[in-house]
Amino acid sequence: MTAPNELRLLPWSSPDGKSCYLSTDDRGGYMSRLADNIEAVQLGSAAELLEQASETLDDQDATLEDMQRLAKELTEDLRNVLRVATSRGHLLAVSEQREPAY
């Protein structure tokens, strides 16, 4: 949940590559749920690609094209995972600021 006037970094970017943000207090709203679902898909995709990367790197017959494709896919998934981590880290920091200290 975002605090009033806090923006949530969304797990996608605009067509020109700029970050997209959501302004809402409603974690159960359509856009918040959509963002949560896309983040889950992105993390799952990264986990699957990590398995594939290990197999490709162990494959003695892997070609330069295979390695280039793997590097491109890893870069894309790492960018997505970093965006999710940044967004969730920000949400955690906002949540901790709102909780009373004991």
Question: Which residue in this structure is represented by tokens 């998934």?
Answer: 77
In eight-state DSSP terms, residue 13 is E
Q: How confident is the model over 61-66, as a mean pLDDT?
A: 96
102 — pLDDT class (breaks 50, 70, 90): low
Q: Which of 9-18, 75-84, 90-99 has the lowest mean pLDDT?
A: 90-99
Contact 84, 42 (CB under 8 A): yes
Task: Look over the chain and give the mean of its residue pLDDT values, rounded to a whole number.
Answer: 86
In angstroms, how far is CA 72 from the centroid of its own chain?
16
Measured over all CA atoms, what is the biggest interatomic distance in the chain, rounded to whole angstroms? 59
The set of residues, in sequence order, having a beta carbon less than 8 Å from that of 22 and lying 6+ positions away, is 2, 7, 8, 10, 31, 32, 35
99 — pLDDT class (breaks 50, 70, 90): low
Taking the model in full, what pTM does it have?
A: 0.72
Give me the pLDDT at residue 97, please: 66
Residue 70 is encoded by which pair of tokens?
């793997």
Q: Which of 6-10, 68-72, 96-100 has the lowest mean pLDDT?
A: 96-100
Judge whether residue 37 has pLDDT over 80.
yes
